[in-house]
Every structure is written in structure tokens, then in C-alpha cells.
């Protein structure tokens, strides 16, 4: 049942220790910083986090990692010039890493939302990321068996929600939001604006409200951030 | 060697990064859909002409990507796969990550241009991981790009800083994709890779024989 | 039998199609996302109240489907899965077929309501094919609906025209889905199916014992 | 390379005998009648046709079947009150039928466009439509292995195209168009309107031009048909 929630703190209050949490965003675009900060404040720990990266600088997911709340990262690109908190935890053996090619990450998340129990894809065949995985020759190519990534919760940033929970995004901040909303049992979305039912064109809705459970308005969210 | 002299193009000097990018740009067929990898391949966009009508894809969810954003254009919600602010050209479209990778993985991109640590005679690509035991691995979209595009062009210097050829019989670095590379653009030559072995299309600042001496696998000169 | 008398609801008469639709409508929890199958299940939409805030899905690509279109509302581009012109409610959304079936197949619909030829004690559903050798089979979205929704409600008459129970120990018609039905609404009773067998929630125009005499499998009365 | 073509006849001229042709539409909504008529006129035969249905009444796909041009139908719902041409051919043993649950049809088409070599899905498990297919227990459910449906050509109806071939659709006429455009080697699209590059909002494009090869304007297409 869709809920409109007043604060990010209340929105994330139900996230339990040990949960698998998908976090939208690619780099800073679409990253729900306010929800991540609230998750940090909530004290939830022993989390498995699914995100394309493993945190940048001293904010958001990077802080969650720094504070030892993340048991395992499932991501495609953990190593960045400013991913020092992940780097330190990883080198200390204090965080588990499941490294997934970015397209497999996206398709595995999509599979979870679409009720697909597994699929074969050529990506990764013959590489160390496919070691130990089942392979099969299909459509003229060797392919690797990949399984869905399910989650308990998704934290997502969108531009606008209407009263039915339908979402639209902004430019490349869309990225993982729609597929994570579908893959998680409970989707928590921060938006910059909540508009009345009927204010979004039905042709242009990107995430239908059926995939959305909790919506919280965050004043800055979705407004173009100016990057120095 | 007469066919060699008539077909194999040469130039007096090795190519710089920008000249190489210009060459790759010129080789992209009009109307193509192209993904340019992070780093050196990004330079190619500087040399694409309007007449070529190339559409650039960025795997974080866009077709019709324009040049890097400057000044007031910079918008944190509009970045490329290298997380650099970019611009949107008329006719652009946005989509989510699964749809964006379906474009690559479904074989719809004509060309992707990638950097490399090593390319093998059979077109294997190694460009994501040094394999060093203490390195934190990070793959991003490299494997999808290598596997999905109709043609994979590699841009790299032919030799490492230590003078070792990056074009090799078999890759020693961990692979990104198997048998996926179709062309290798280097400062010293352009190579075509395929099931028939490695063909040299042009050399820059060296003869075919000098090039062969640098590369530890049999090369063939291009014939017209 | 005291628990039976206190918990099992009864009514004096068997239910008509509309009364049954009304009953199903009343049983749908507020805020639910629901798909109503072609035929009798469509009647349910006539009895959903605004306060229930139910969102209807049609598998040909829409959430927020409104009532059947009449007169000037009729638009050939806006139809339901039965190819009947329908209307769009505020807050509706359109999507393509794969996205639409992902909604079903991914387990996102709360309830789908389907007609049936037979339902088995274990919740197997047969509703797409008579199995007659000369019949042209046509399945549509029945298997996806049966398999994907969180709850599958069946609406049917309890007996065939020949007086044979459609609630059976094992289906003899070709299956649509295995163990998928959770409730069966019939003119004579509402049955709950599950791993523990078949429970009767209410009877219409018959006693529990009279109902048991019609159905060739053991029934249990509901207890509160 | 994208082409704007003047007539439906020229648009379908390259379709060879023996081709697999996907045809968009669900019922009449989104069905590219003018392109189908042109395909009939072209004389192409021995076709495998992928469509949700198997023709209705005496128009479009039904005529293609009547004229014996269709060797095989891949569809979910061939039997309708007015599918008499298919019925007759099928009973005469003159047309092959691959019956596919509608969601499997959609997902298999999507798989072809997305480079997925095969996938497991619960739909159809334990039914005669899964007989002989590989099964596997995944995510707590028995699932059936399904393979992609590729096509040589797709015939699609959309509402508008811009000069880059980007498409938008109208209401439930969207249905199979986007996934068929991606699954076919060559997509031919009839639209009611061609608009300049930049006239469609990049946030609202449903089929990016990369999936479109030929566009032909058909005056009536996409305009709401009034059904008696």
C-alpha cells in the first residue's frame, strides 16, 4: 500500500539489520543521498548493498561503508579515485565484494522484478567473472548463466511522483531507479515534487505506482546539482 | 612485396593521441551508433563531423550524447559513463539501465571504441584488471561493450612503457572478452584482427618489417 | 458442528453472476492492484467502490483502466485484453507488452480473477483448453496471470450443465497453472484452496452437507 | 541506416520469401494494416509470422493467411470468433502453429532484442505448452527454459517519429511495438506524423531510433479509430 511519508527518517525506519538494500544512482546522478543519510542514522547494519559503485568521497554510501554497516557490496565498479572508504574496508578484509559486469547487474535486477529465474548472456564468458558459472552455447555464442538479484528494499531518487506513486525521472539520473523499484519488495522513493493524480501524462510515466511503496519529498532532490 | 607497397598505407611519424582519435573518427561509417569508452576513446568525439551524423550512446542511459558540458551547461543529472557532465543533442533519448545495456548486449551498437592493456591475435581483449593480487577489481560496462557491439575498436599505444608489445599471441592479463576485437588503432599501426590472423592496414613512422620486429606474432600486410 | 454454525456463512439462495461479482469485489483489499480476466471476472469491476482505490491492470499495456467506453469515449487505441474499448482513469500509465507482463510475472499484482473449467483440490487451474482433438488451442495471458499474481481467485459455476463438479480432485482438462488458485467463488459456495485441502468459507442456498454431496473431494468448513 | 520511405510498397519491398516477420498490434490496436496490405501485395511467401493473434475478419494478417503466404504462426491467441481464415488453414493442416503464452511471447521477443540467449520462467510449468522443455527449480519455483524469438523484419505502427527515428506510441496501441523493433534485424514503422529532430521530449521517447530502419508516413495511422 502506497504511503506518503513526511521525513526520510520515518521512510527508512523499517529497514532491518541484514537486509539487502538496492540504492539507485550512477555516480552522483540519481543517488538518493538523503535516504542514504537517513539509513546511516537509523543504525541498520549487516547490510548487503546493491549499487553500481561502492561509494565516493565522504558522503552517502561511502559513509555507510566507513561506519561498517555494509557486510557485502554487489556492484560493477567499486574502485574510483575517491572510493577510499571501500578500499580500506576491502583491503582489511572487512567487506565482501560481488563484482558484476554492469550490464549483468542491470539485467539481473530487471530479472528479479520481471519474475525471471535466471538467464544466459554472453557478457563475461571466458573471463574470471564467469568462473564456476554454468555456460551454454546459444544463438551462436557461448553464454553464461546469471541469476536475479532480489532485494528487501530499494532507495531511489526520482523527479516527481503523483498521488498514485507514478514516477518520472530526470535525464541520466533515471539509471537504476526503474529496475530497482521493480526488484525490491519495498521501494522507498525520494522526489523533489509530489503532483496531483492526473498531472503526469500516462504516456510518459517511467515507473508505474505499482512498484512504489513509500514516497518522501526532499526539497533538493531531482533539481540539477551544479557540479564544481 | 609489391602488394605491400601498393596497399599498405604508411606515414612518416608515429601518431599522437589526437591524430589517432582523428583517424578512428574518420573510419566510423556515416549514421553509426557508437559508444566511446572512458579515457583515450573519448577523444574520438572531438573529430566526428556533423555530416557523419553519428549518434553517441552512453551506457548510463542515453543516446544522442553531446560534447562535454562547460560552464552553465553543467548539470549533475546529465553525465556520461565516466561521470563527466555532458550535453544533450536534439533527438536524444533517455532510458533506464537495463534498456541501455540491452542496446549494447543486443548487438545494436555499430561500434564501440575501448582502451586496452592487451589484445590477442584472436581478438581477445584485456582492459579491466591488472590481475595484481592487491588490486581492487572494477569492471563497469567493459565486458558488455566488448561482447555486445558489432565492431570493437581498440585504441592503445602499441608498446608498454617498458617497450613490450600490447598486441600479443595470448593475453596474460585477465580477459574482458573473447575474440571480440576487430581493429586495433595504435600509435605505430592499425591492425585488423580476425580468425585469419592479424593484418596491418597502415603503419606510422615505421615500415612493416620494423613493425613486425616489435610484435611477437606473425603479421600480414593488407592487400587491396 | 457448533463451529460450523458460528463460522460458516450461508445464504438462502445460490448466487447469480452479479451477486458473485459483488462478493468478489467486496473481498478485494483497499489499494490492491488487480487484473480481471475476460468474461465473468470483468463483472467485478462494476462493484468496486471509489473508497477501495483499486487499480486495474490490463495485460495489453495499462494500469489504471477505467470502465468500458461508451459513445464518444470509444477509441480503437484504448482497449482491454478482451479487445473491448475501455477508458483511462486519472493516474493511469501505459507500457509495452514485456513491461506489462513483467508486472504479472514478477508477482506485483495482488489479485487476478479468472474463469475456469476446473480447479483441483491443490489449486491447479484448467481454464484455457478443452483438450478436444479438433479444438484450436489459444492461451493468451492465462498462464502468466495464473502463475504470476499473489492471489488467484476463480469465478465459476460449481457444476457443469451436466451437473458435474468443476471443483475436482485432479483436473482432467489441460492445466493452465499448477497450485496457483487460492480461492474459488461459485454460485453455491466460496472455497479456499491450499496445501491443507479445501475449506468452505460460505455456502449459498445449500448446507455444508448438501455441498459436500456435490463435490467429489473432502471439504472442511471454515472455523473462525 | 535510417530511411524515410514514401510508400508502404517500397517499405516492404525487401522482405524475402521465407522470412520471419514480427507484426505489432494486439487486436486492431497498433496493428500496421497498411504495411500488412503492402506485404500481401508484395507477394512474399513462406513466411513465419509472429503476432499475438492469427488474424481477424477479412483484413490484414487474416488475408495474408488466407492467401497461403504464412507457413507458420507464432502467437498466443489464434482462436477468435472471427479468425476463420486461420481456423480453416489450421484444420486443413496448411499452417503450422507455435502456441506461446502471451507473457512468454513478449519476454522471448524482448530477450532477442536484449541479447539474452534463453531464460527460465515459471509461466507454463506443468502444462502441455512446456512439454519437452527443460525445467529447473529456481527462486522457490519450478521454471521452464524459453529461448529468444528473433526476426528478420518487424512491421510496426507508432504515432510519431522524429527525424532520428525516435518513436512514440498512443495508449494501448504501444503493446508489442517497442520490443519487436528491438528484436528484428530490420524494423519498418508506419507513423501518422513525422516531426523534426528535437520535437519529441528525450524523456518521453519510447523506442529510440537505433531500433528503427525504415519509416513511412500513413495518413490514418495512429489516429484513434472509432469502433462501431
Neighbours of D111 (CB within 10 A): 29
Buried b (16+ CB within 10 A) or exposed e, C179-196: bbbbbbbbbbbbbbbeee
Q: Which residues contact D101 (CB under 8 A, 6 or more apart)?
A: C139, C140, C141, C142, C143, C144, D76, D123, D124, D129
Query: Which pLDDT value is given to residue D101?
Result: 98
Of chain D residues 69-108, which have a CB less than 8 A from chain C?
Answer: 76-80, 86-87, 90-91, 97, 99-107
Mutation for testing the A interface, residue in B57, B60, B74 having most A CBs under 10 Å: B60
Per-residue pLDDT of chain D in tens (228 residues, 90 and over written 9): 899 999 999 999 999 999 999 999 998 999 999 999 999 999 999 999 999 999 999 999 999 999 999 999 999 999 888 999 999 999 999 999 999 999 999 999 999 999 999 999 999 999 999 999 999 999 999 999 999 999 999 999 999 999 999 999 999 999 999 999 999 999 999 999 999 999 999 999 999 999 999 999 998 644 444 433
Tell whether A169 lies on the interface with D, counting CB pairs under 8 A.
Answer: yes
- The answer on pLDDT for C4 being more than 50 is no
Is the minimum CB–CB distance between D210 and chain B shorter than 8 Å? yes
In this predicted structure, what is the pLDDT of residue A37?
A: 97
**Of C70, D134, D112, nearest to D121 (Cα)?**
D134
In contact, C184 and C120? CB cutoff 8 Å: no
**Per-residue pLDDT tens digits for B57-76:** 999 999 999 999 999 999 99
CA distance C84 to C2: 48
- Find out whether B107 and B148 touch, Cβ atoms under 8 Å: yes
| D3-115+151-222 under CATH 3.40.640.10, yes or no | no
Residues of A within 8 A of C55 (CB-CB) are 164, 209-210
pLDDT by residue for chain A (228 residues), tens only, comes to 899 999 999 999 999 999 999 999 998 999 999 999 999 999 999 999 999 999 999 999 999 999 999 999 999 999 888 999 999 999 999 999 999 999 999 999 999 999 999 999 999 999 999 999 999 999 999 999 999 999 999 999 999 999 999 999 999 999 999 999 999 999 999 999 999 999 999 999 999 999 999 999 998 644 444 433
Instruction: Locate the chain C residue with the closest alpha carbon to A178.
Output: C99
Closest CA to A32 of A64, A4, A77: A64
Q: Which residues contact D100 (CB under 8 A, 6 or more apart)?
A: C139, D74, D75, D76, D108, D129
Helix (H) or strand (E) holding A40: helix A33-42
Burial of C33 (0-12, 13-18, 19+ CB in 10 A): buried
Helix axes of D102-114 and C97-105: crossing angle, nearest 10 degrees: 120
CA angle A83, A85, A88 (to 5 degrees): 105
Q: In what order do the strands lie in the sheet with C125-126?
A: C125-126, C118-120, C167-168
* Mean pLDDT calculated for residue range C111-128: 97
Q: Is the pLDDT confidence value at C6 over 60?
A: no
Mean pLDDT of B81-108: 97
Using the structure block, give the residue that is written with the C-alpha cell 532510458. B95
CA B61 to CA A170: how far, in whole Å? Answer: 11
- Positive or negative torsion for Cα C141, C144, C147, C152: negative
Asked whether the beta carbons of residue A117 and residue D115 sit closer than 8 angstroms, the reply is: no
Would the ipTM clear 0.85, i.e. be above it? yes
CA distance A162 to chain B (A): 20
Contacts of A among chains (3+ CB pairs under 8 A)? B, C, D
- Number of CB atoms found within 10 A of residue B11's CB: 13
The residue from C13, C59, C72, C169 that is catalytic is: C59
Measure the CA–CA gap between C69 and C75, rounded to whole angstroms. Answer: 8
Among A175, A180, A222, most B C-beta atoms within 10 A, so best to mutate, is A175
Q: Which pLDDT does position A220 carry in this prediction? A: 65
CB nearest B105 (choices: D115, D163, D210): D115
Name the pLDDT band for B6 (thresholds 50, 70, 90): very low
Choose among A106, A71, A118: nearest CA to A90.
Answer: A71
CB-based contact C209:C201 (threshold 8 Å)? no
What average pLDDT does this structure show over B183-212?
95
- pTM (2 d.p.): 0.96
The domains located in chain B, with CATH, are: 3-221 (3.40.1080.10)
Tally Cβ neighbours within 10 Å of residue D117.
Answer: 22
Task: Specify the DSSP element, H or E, that contains B17.
Answer: helix B17-26
**What pLDDT is stored for residue C7 in this prediction?**
60
Q: How far apart are CA A205 and CA B28, in angstroms?
A: 36
Q: What is the pLDDT of residue D223?
A: 44
- SS3 annotation, B62-79: EEEEEEECCHHHCCCCCE
Say how far apart CA D87 and CA A166 lie, in whole Å.
42
Asked if residue C179 has pLDDT above 60, the reply is yes
Going D207 to D209 to D210 to D215, the CA torsion angle's sign is positive
Residues 18-47 of C with CB under 8 A from A: 30-31, 33
CA distance C55 to D94: 43
C209 is catalytic: no
How high does pLDDT run on average in chain C?
93
Cα torsion B14, B18, B22, B24 to 10°: value is 70
Q: What grid cell was written down for B218?
A: 606473425
φ, ψ of residue B58 in degrees (nearest 5)? -120, 130
Nearest CA to B62 among B32, B42, B38, B86?
Answer: B86
Q: What is the reported pLDDT for B183?
A: 97
* Domain locations in chain A as residue ranges: 3-115+151-222
Can you give the pLDDT at residue C224?
65
Amino acid at each position: 500500500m502506497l504511503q506518503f511519508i513526511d521525513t526520510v527518517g520515518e521512510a527508512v525506519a523499517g529497514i532491518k539489520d541484514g537486509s539487502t538494500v538496492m540504492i539507485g544512482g550512477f555516480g552522483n546522478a540519481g543517488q538518493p543521498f538523503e535516504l542514504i543519510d537517513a539509513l546511516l542514522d537509523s543504525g541498520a547494519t549487516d547490510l548487503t548493498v546493491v549499487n553500481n559503485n561502492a561509494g565516493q568521497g565522504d558522503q552517502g554510501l561511502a559513509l555507510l561503508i566507513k561506519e561498517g554497516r555494509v557486510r557485502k557490496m554487489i556492484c560493477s565498479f567499486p574502485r574510483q579515485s575517491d572510493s577510499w572508504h571501500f578500499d580500506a574496508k576491502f583491503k582489511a578484509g572487512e567487506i565482501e565484494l560481488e563484482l558484476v559486469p554492469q550490464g549483468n547487474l542491470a539485467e539481473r535486477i530487471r530479472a528479479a522484478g520481471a519474475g525471471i529465474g535466471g538467464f544466459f548472456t554472453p557478457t563475461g564468458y571466458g573471463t574470471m567473472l564467469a568462473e564456476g558459472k554454468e555456460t551454454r552455447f546459444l544463438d551462436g555464442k557461448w553464454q553464461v548463466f546469471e541469476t536475479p538479484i532480489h532485494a528487501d528494499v530499494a532507495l531511489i531518487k526520482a523527479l516527481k511522483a503523483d498521488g498514485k506513486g507514478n514516477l518520472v525521472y530526470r535525464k541520466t539520473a533515471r539509471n537504476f531507479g526503474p529496475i530497482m523499484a521493480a526488484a525490491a519488495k519495498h521501494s522507498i522513493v525520494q522526489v523533489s515534487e509530489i503532483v496531483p493524480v492526473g498531472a503526469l501524462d500516462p504516456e510518459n510515466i517511467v515507473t508505474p505506482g505499482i512498484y512504489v511503496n513509500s514516497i518522501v519529498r526532499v526539497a533538493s532532490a531531482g533539481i540539477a546539482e551544479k557540479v564544481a | 612485396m609489391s602488394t605491400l607497397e601498393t596497399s599498405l598505407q604508411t606515414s612518416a611519424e608515429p601518431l599522437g593521441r589526437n591524430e589517432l582519435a582523428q583517424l578512428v573518427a574518420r573510419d566510423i561509417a556515416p549514421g553509426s551508433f557508437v559508444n566511446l569508452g572512458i579515457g583515450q576513446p573519448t577523444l574520438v568525439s572531438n573529430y566526428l563531423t556533423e555530416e557523419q551524423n553519428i549518434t553517441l550512446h552512453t551506457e548510463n542511459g542515453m543516446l544522442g550524447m553531446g560534447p562535454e558540458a562547460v560552464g552553465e551547461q553543467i548539470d549533475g543529472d546529465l553525465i556520461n559513463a565516466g561521470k563527466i557532465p555532458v550535453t544533450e543533442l536534439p533527438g536524444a533519448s533517455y532510458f533506464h539501465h537495463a534498456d541501455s545495456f540491452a542496446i549494447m548486449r543486443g548487438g545494436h551498437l555499430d561500434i564501440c571504441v575501448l582502451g586496452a592493456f592487451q589484445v590477442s591475435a584472436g581478438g581477445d581483449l584485456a582492459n579491466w584488471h591488472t590481475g595484481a593480487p592487491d588490486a581492487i577489481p572494477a569492471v563497469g560496462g567493459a565486458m558488455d561493450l566488448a561482447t555486445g557491439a558489432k565492431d570493437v575498436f581498440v585504441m592503445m599505444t602499441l608498446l608498454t612503457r617498458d617497450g613490450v608489445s600490447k598486441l600479443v599471441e595470448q593475453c596474460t592479463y585477465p580477459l574482458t572478452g573473447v575474440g571480440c576485437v576487430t581493429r586495433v588503432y595504435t600509435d605505430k599501426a592499425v591492425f585488423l584482427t580476425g580468425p585469419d590472423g592479424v593484418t596491418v592496414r597502415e603503419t606510422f613512422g615505421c615500415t612493416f618489417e620494423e613493425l613486425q620486429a616489435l610484435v611477437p606474432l606473425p603479421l600480414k600486410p593488407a592487400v587491396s
